[in-house]
Amino acid sequence: MIHITPQQRLILAVDAIDFRKGMDTLVGFCRTYLGDPFTGTVFAFRNKRGTAIKLLVYDGTGFWLATKRFSRRTLRYWPQGTNEHVCATTMMIILNQGVPTSLASSWRTLPGSSL
């Protein structure tokens, strides 16, 4: 299992990719368009129909490629623009079929926090 931590950089490919692509092709895609895949950055991809997500990450000894296929429906949310900030918490909400923008109103800042 890939553990996504708040310290890891996370990059989402906004456009859908062909899920027939394997690990080596995705690593090449990351190098060309998204950034260096050997830094521990978690790269997230979705398929065209929105029924699955792939995560690619390098752990220092090799690449992990995880695929999650949704059994009941398609993704409820995926960022549409390159200026949307996605953190580890947002990614976990997306992976669990949540909509981060609808949850924003239910969270509040604790007194004394710097957020």
87 burial (CB, 10 Å; 0-12 / 13-18 / 19+) is middle
Q: Please report, for the chain, the start and end positions of each structural domain, with discontinuous segments joined by +.
A: 10-104
pLDDT digits 0-9 by tens, 8-40: 889 989 899 999 999 999 999 999 999 999 999
Q: Could you tell me whether strands 10-12 and 42-46 are parallel, antiparallel, or unpaired per DSSP bridges?
A: parallel
If you average pLDDT over residues 43-59, what whole number do you get? 93
pLDDT digits 0-9 by tens, 38-48: 999 999 999 99
